[in-house]
Amino acid sequence: MGLADLHMHTIYSYDGTATVPAVLRRAKEIGLDVIAITDHDEIGGALEAMELASHYGMEVIPGIEITTAEGDLLALFITEKVDAGLSLIDTVLKVRELGGICIAPHPMAGGMGMKSLSAISIIKALRNKKVADTLIGIEAYNGTAIDRVSNHYANLLATRLKISQTGSSDAHVLEAIGLGTTEFPGKTAADFRSALRSGDTKVRKQKEWSTVRILGSWLTNYIGSRFSRLAMNLR
């Protein structure tokens, strides 16, 4: 079985704290086979990770966490930016045009400025056949969600809709990578994509962090990464 963490952020995100090489090194150390870099409305981190992946023995799925008009959406297997602010349906269809697939991250989750899709938005969007063929996963476990109850509701929603479930860390700091992962048959990104489409994925959870640890770790790392973020912005 392969192990993937499909939702994480680097310093290319406004709230990320880790450089791309550091993320790749950490992912390799903890035994992940596949990762997806999904910075907020930004593709640069994913493209850099793809260039460096072979040096770390990792396979990287390029992606973005897109801010739609109705909430956040993970777009995977794309190498171009998608405009923020579009409707959920229009965003998914744009990702489809680019050859990608979508996962609904932390649906129904609140707190700390999270912009999450509602169950109603997801259900309505899936009535569109092309959307249903592209939005093929729900993040049923988010390892750093402060709103823990939302993970339970996400699981219920995915079960009701009979849609593939994924687990991810939504890591904004290195230490959080792998707190939530997805098991799938095989070892490659192509294997994962096939498993997600066939419904052959399984959520794996690590020991949950407390809210204090989640927020404290992020704040400490955010302050500590200020020079790395500044240097990237000056490129």
Its pTM stands at: 0.94
The CATH number covering residue 196 comes to 3.20.20.140
How many of the other CB atoms lie within 10 Å of CB of 113? Answer: 6
Task: Using CB atoms within 10 Å of the CB of residue 194, give its burial: 0 to 12 exposed, 13 to 18 middle, 19+ buried.
Answer: middle
Query: Collapsing DSSP states into helix, strand and coil, what is residue 152?
Result: helix
Closest CA to 33 of 57, 9, 52, 50: 57
Task: Give me 162's structure tokens.
Answer: 């009979």
| Number of domains, the chain | 1
DSSP state of 60: E
Q: Quick one: pLDDT at residue 235?
A: 67
Query: Collapsing DSSP states into helix, strand and coil, what is residue 161?
Result: helix
Q: In angstroms, how far is CA 133 from the centroid of its own chain?
A: 19
CB contact at 8 A, 32 and 58? yes
pLDDT digits (tens, 9 = 90+) for 87-108: 999 999 999 999 999 999 999 9
Q: How far is CA 152 from CA 103, 124, 149, in A?
A: 17, 21, 5
Q: Quick one: pLDDT at residue 113?
A: 73
Measured CA to CA, the distance from residue 188 to residue 174 in angstroms comes to 22
Average pLDDT per 10 consecutive residues for the chain, totaling 235 residues: 97 94 97 97 97 94 98 98 97 98 95 88 97 98 93 96 97 97 97 97 94 92 82 70
Domain span holding position 141: 2-233
CB contact at 8 A, 28 and 60? no
pLDDT digits (tens, 9 = 90+) for 133-150: 999 999 999 999 998 899
